[in-house]
Amino acid sequence: MKVYEDLTPLKRRSKVTFYLITFIFICMIILFWKIQILDHNKYILLAERNRIREENLTASRGLIKDRNGIILAENRASFNVSIIRENCININKSLKRISKLLGIEENVLKERINQYKFYPDFKPIIIKENLTMEDIAKIEALKNEFPELVIQFEPKRYYPFHEIGAHIIGYVQEISSKELRDPRFKSFKMGDIIGKSGIEKKYDSYLRGKDGKLRKIVDSRGRFIKELNRVEPKAGKDVILTIDFDLQKKSEELMGGREGAIIILNPKNGEILAMASSPSYDPNKFVGRFNKKEWEKLVKDEKAPLENRAIRGLYAPGSIFKLTIALAGLEEGIINPYSTFYCGGKTYFYNKEFSCWNKGGHGKVNLYNAIRHSCNIYFYNLGNKLGIEKIDVWASALGFGKPTGVDLPGEKRGLIPSPRWKEMIFHTPWFPGETISLSIGQGPLLVTPLQIAVHTAIIANRGRKIVPHLVKSLKKNSNERVKVKKKFFELVIKGMWEAVNLEGTGRLAKLEGFNICGKTGSTQLVSRRGKENSEIKTHSWFTGFAPRNDPEVVITVIVEYGGMGGETAAPIAKELFRLYKEKYREKNGFKKNY
């Protein structure tokens, strides 16, 4: 009898193996089908990226010029070096070698790379800007050893006058990751340079232009082989400012680094001829991508050089606010030009003593003398008769407590205190004695220097409002008027003229042949200089216009801790009136009875 071996287990295993191989084979077919058919375009693109590289061609920003064509912001040729991570065999080793080559700390390089960790590896990341010729030669000589490095051209923003006009012009800097998350910046990408402040920010879309693209073929080591196509960048448009460089420069020189601001504007059309904020800063420090230390130094500076005091500095207006009180009193019928109050150097309201700056008093004072000599007692009495509600209404009508509408970002609105405001903020009622201090521009009343300049322009225009602006092409003329009779403006202007020309508080602003009208102001506060040895300091104000009839220039000056307005701010204003007169009157042979 023949015995046969049982092959059932072997057949079973063979069958399982066959099915397994068949399954694997089917999976491979499906995978190949997916790669070849479904993901065809994806892998074609990846393959193309290995040999085709797209490079951004940065557009030049438009120039910023003053009204006479002087260039305040331009572009200069600059070369950057970037790293392409896909060309790195080991990124950490590459960074160590690059650190030695370029003289950049390794941790700085890593920090820079980490900002772009979500970017595709084939995208170049700038690691050093403003390469010297020595840097370029070194990189070019070693390009076979550093295939991950590429040199790129980029027009770099440059501010030829450095600190002069910095707060107006502003600066540019790399877009931040926070800004990229903002829907307003959805068309931007990491590494783009945008306007961060001033005109650069306000008119960024106008100045920026449109970047171009370059597509080129490279080898496996990233070396250039052939250009495929190029879309040239379109340069941004130029912006012409209303600023007069000579007046701007002189304003900043006269401030001499002291804290404060100066505004010079045309009351007819709102054109700003100068806007100085002191101390200033050099916007060139912000142009690059590695400015952390410089930024921290400026931010921590107790003098706040980055703040544009002209539109963001909040100050008590002091005696300049007396002009508002006078106009309100005239329009409300509480006084006429010959109404008088007696000034004996001090008086009492609501069982509290209030003093005049002139301890000996001014005697019997009418409107003209009150403005001329800036008599506190006169305006204490007038403010008390007006009351806080009417002061609130007229201060708002004359330009305070709201933005002026200037074409700069970040303008503050100031504050006109009122019973409603005090109840909302402090949950306490308004006391009548607070109105007395407010009548001479003290207390919680806060204004910006630009608001004071606009207020002065309204008076110079006999009630016609203006919108201040910095870009020449803007037409901001307004026919809107304050509801105060022209004859009342004339009365206040007469007092302002006497303040300068008849030995009043503004006499140091007097300039022969230019009929200046002005008002001084002085506000006391505790100095912030030194925590232990704080002392009472005085801000110095002057605001005025010229000539008296048909005014064409307004000048407002504030010098922080400068002392009395007539002693510090008024002489500065005089020098600026003189320069304006020489430049726009005498050089043009303009003869007129001022």
- The strand ranges marked E within 32-180 are 52-57, 64-65, 71-83, 125-128, 149-158, 172-174
Q: How far apart are CA 320 and CA 331, in angstroms?
A: 18
What does the pLDDT look like over 510-531, one tens digit per residue? 999 999 999 999 987 755 544 4
Q: Are residues 23 and 57 in the same domain?
A: no
Shared domain for 414 and 551, answered yes or no, is: yes
Same domain, 57 and 18: no
What's the angle, vertex CA 389, arms to CA 386 and CA 393, rounded to 5? 95
Whether 446 and 552 share a structural domain: yes
Q: Is the pLDDT of residue 532 over 80?
A: no
State the sign of the Cα–Cα–Cα–Cα dihedral 352, 357, 359, 364: negative
Q: Within this chain, do residues 458 and 558 fall inside the same structural domain, yes or no?
A: yes
Does residue 416 lie in a domain region?
Answer: yes
Residue 433 and residue 575 share a domain = yes
**How many domains does the chain divide into?**
3
Distance CA 508, CA 510 (A): 5
Predicted local confidence at residue 210, as pLDDT: 87
150 lies in the same domain as 263:
no
Same domain, 183 and 168: yes
220 a catalytic residue: no
Q: Which amino acid is at 137?
A: A
Question: Are residue 79 and residue 103 in the same domain, yes or no?
Answer: yes
pLDDT band for position 111 (50/70/90)? confident
In a domain, 296, yes or no: no
Q: For the chain, how are helix, strand and coil distributed in percent, rounded to 5?
A: 40, 20, 40
Residues 133, 136, 137, 138: what is their CA dihedral angle, to the nearest 10 degrees?
120
Within a domain: residue 46?
Answer: no
Answer for the pair 525, 536: CB distance below 8 angstroms, yes or no: yes
Residue 47 lies inside a defined structural domain of this protein: no
Helices 133-141 and 91-102, axial angle in degrees (round to 10): 140
Residue 83's CATH number: 3.90.1310.10
What are the tokens at 120?
């595709």
Domain final residue, candidates 188, 220, 240: 240
Q: What is the pLDDT of residues 407-426, one digit of tens each?
A: 999 999 999 999 999 999 99
The tens digit of pLDDT for each residue in 126-184 reads 878 777 788 888 877 877 777 778 777 778 899 999 999 999 999 998 887 788 788 88
Query: Which amino acid appears at position 430 of this protein?
Result: W
Last residue of a domain, one of 240, 263, 297: 240
Q: Which of 413, 425, 417 is nearest to 443 (CA)?
A: 417
Q: Do 234 and 249 belong to one domain?
A: no
User: Contact 502/563 with Cβ under 8 angstroms?
Assistant: no
Give one DSSP letter per residue of 139-170, joined into a string: HHHTTTT-TTEEEEEEEEEE-TTTTTTHHHH-
427-448 pLDDT, tens per residue? 999 999 999 999 999 999 999 9
For residue 364, give both structure tokens.
């019997």
DSSP, collapsed to helix, strand or coil, labels residue 522 as strand
Please provide residue 228's backbone torsions phi and psi, each rounded to the nearest 5 degrees: -90, -55
Same domain, 234 and 254: no
* Residue 206 contacts residue 234 (beta carbons within 8 Å): no
Question: Is 414 within the bounds of a domain?
Answer: yes
Among 278, 319, 374, 439, which one carries the catalytic annotation? 319
Instruction: Tell me whether residue 15 is in a domain.
Output: yes
Identify which of 563, 326, 348, 569 has the alpha carbon closest to the alpha carbon of residue 455: 326
pLDDT in tens, 234-272: 988 999 999 999 999 999 999 998 999 999 999 999 999
Same domain membership, residue 88 and residue 218: yes
Dihedral sign of CA atoms 146, 149, 153, 157 in order: negative
Residue with tokens 């040895």: 533
CA–CA distances in Å: residue 411 to residues 414, 426, 512: 9, 25, 36
| φ, ψ (nearest 5 deg) of residue 400 | -100, 160
Q: Which domain holds residue 71?
A: 52-240
User: In CATH, what number is assigned to the domain containing residue 545?
Assistant: 3.40.710.10
Percentage with pLDDT > 90 across the chain: 56
How many other CB atoms are there within 10 angstroms of residue 137's CB atom? 11
Q: Does 128 fall in a domain?
A: yes
The residue from 186, 216, 240 where one domain ends is 240
What is the pLDDT, as a whole number, of residue 555?
A: 98
Residue 293 lies inside a defined structural domain of this protein: no
